[in-house]
Homo-oligomer: A and B are copies of this chain.
Amino acid sequence: MEPHLLRTFVTVADCGSFSAAAEQLGYTQSAVSQHIAALESDLGTPLLHRRPVAPTASGERLLEHAGPILLRLEAARADVRRTVAGPPSVLALAAAPLAADRLATALVAVRRSHPGTEVSLTVCGREQVVEAVATGEFALGLVDGIAAPSDPLRLSDAVRLRTSPIAHDDLVVALPNDHPLAHRRGLSLDDLTDARWIDAPDAAVPLASLRAATRAGGLRPALTCSGTDVHTLLALVAAGHGLAVLPQSIGAPGVTGVPLTAPRLVHRIELLHGLLSEPAAAALAAVLSDRE
């Protein structure tokens, strides 16, 4: 179970194709085939169905482990590298788009207390925030998600990272102003399972999260929007392409937010970090955490 074999395995499972994975990894199809064969012979069981390529039951189990293991390896390498490189010169921050605005205000205080600090902020999807904080690429990250009012966020536990709650907010269904439901005082997801939805997993609450939080089926996306641009998503909503669930604080002209009353869910923002060896990062974490 060498790491590079695991890596090609997850890539193949991800691509659903040996040749696509080969291209993505810079191997030949033959090498990829040999990698999978080596893994399967090592574990003594088929891991992938061929034609079409899909994980077997055993493959599914391995997939659950492989990602976290590879991430942990990356984190270990980065951790060691950091001891030799010394503290970085820029304070590198990552945030999911619906969490990023928290940084804007908190950074003001840090700018004042640590005037020389150069700051870099990357807005990207939630998984990428978790991964990049885990590998130490960023000192600090903010992620968001939905949960029952009393629950913390359920983050992928690939690597043990320190987390602390930063803020929470109610959820609304975003509708065009002229939508027939826009005047409602509240909406239940159960009434909206057959509505036209926009799935923008990195710019709004992912439909998958909503599905997981409800028993209700449905919630099929009429339009899928990738990328982290909330602005564009709001424009799509305003233009009537479909609905999206967002935290109450996000809005735009042309879009009405109607409180989501059932199921009872809240939007949460959590801070994610590793060791905080830099004083500026520690100070920022303190400022962010104190807000709660």
Complexed CA–CA distance, A45 and B65 (Å): 29
- Max chain B CB contacts within 10 Å: which of A64, A77, A82? A77
A80 contacts B62, C-beta separation under 8 Å = yes
Q: Is the CB of B1 within 8 A of A43?
A: no
Residue of B nearest to A66 (CB): B76
Interface contact B160-A73, CB-CB below 8 Å: no
Bound form: Cα–Cα A1–B73 in Å: 8
Q: Considering the chains assembled together, what is the distance between the CA atoms of A43 and B83 in angstroms?
A: 11
Are A72 and B69 within 8 A (Cβ)? yes
Q: Does A87 lie at the interface of the complex (its beta carbon under 8 Å from any beta carbon of B)?
A: no
CB-based nearest B residue for A157: B160
Measured CB to CB, the closest approach of chain B to A24, in angstroms, equals 21
- Give the docked Cα–Cα distance between A142 and B264 (Å): 36
Task: Classify the interface of chain A: helix, strand, loop or mixed.
Answer: helix
- Residue interface bits A204-227, CB-to-B below 8 A is 1, else 0: 000000000000000000000000
Known interface pairs A73-B1, A160-B157; A80-B68 also in contact (CB < 8 Å): no
Q: How many copies does the complex hold?
A: 2
Chain B residues with CB below 8 A from A179, complex form: none
Q: A62's contact among B1, B2, B61, B76, by CB below 8 Å, is which? A: B76
* Cα of A44 to Cα of B84 in the assembled complex, Å: 8
User: Chain A 25-61 against B: per-residue CB contact (8 Å), 1 yes, 0 no?
Assistant: 0000000000000000001110100000000011001
Q: Name the residue of chain B whose CB is nearest to the CB of A75.
A: B65
Q: Which of A155-183 contact B (CB under 8 A)?
A: 157, 160
- Residue A81 interfacial (CB < 8 Å): yes
Which residues of chain B are within 8 angstroms of A57 by Cβ–Cβ distance? Answer: 83
- Near B by CB (< 8 A), chain A positions 122-137 give none
Residue A58 contacts which of B47, B80, B160 (CB distance < 8 angstroms)?
A: B80
- Sort chain A's interface into a size bin: 20 to 34
Q: Does A149 belong to the interface (CB within 8 Å)?
A: no
A80-B43, A83-B61 as given contacts; A2 in contact with B3, CB under 8 Å? yes
Per the bound structure, the CA–CA distance linking A88 and B40 in Å amounts to 22
Cβ of A229 < 8 Å from any Cβ of B? no
CA of A76 to CA of B45 in the docked complex: distance in angstroms?
Answer: 13
A43's partner among B69, B75, B81 (CB-CB below 8 A) is B81
State which of B69, B73, B82, B157 has its C-beta within 8 Å of the C-beta of A76.
B69
Chain B residues in 8 Å Cβ range of A82: 61
Residue contact B2 to A2, C-beta cutoff 8 Å: yes
Least Cβ–Cβ distance between A78 and chain B, in angstroms? 10
12 contacts between A and B (CB under 8 A): A1-B76, A1-B77, A3-B3, A44-B81, A44-B84, A47-B80, A58-B80, A61-B80, A62-B79, A62-B80, A69-B73, A72-B72
Q: Give A contacts to B, CB under 8 Å.
A: 1-3, 43-45, 47, 57-58, 61-62, 64-66, 68-69, 72-73, 75-77, 79-84, 157, 160
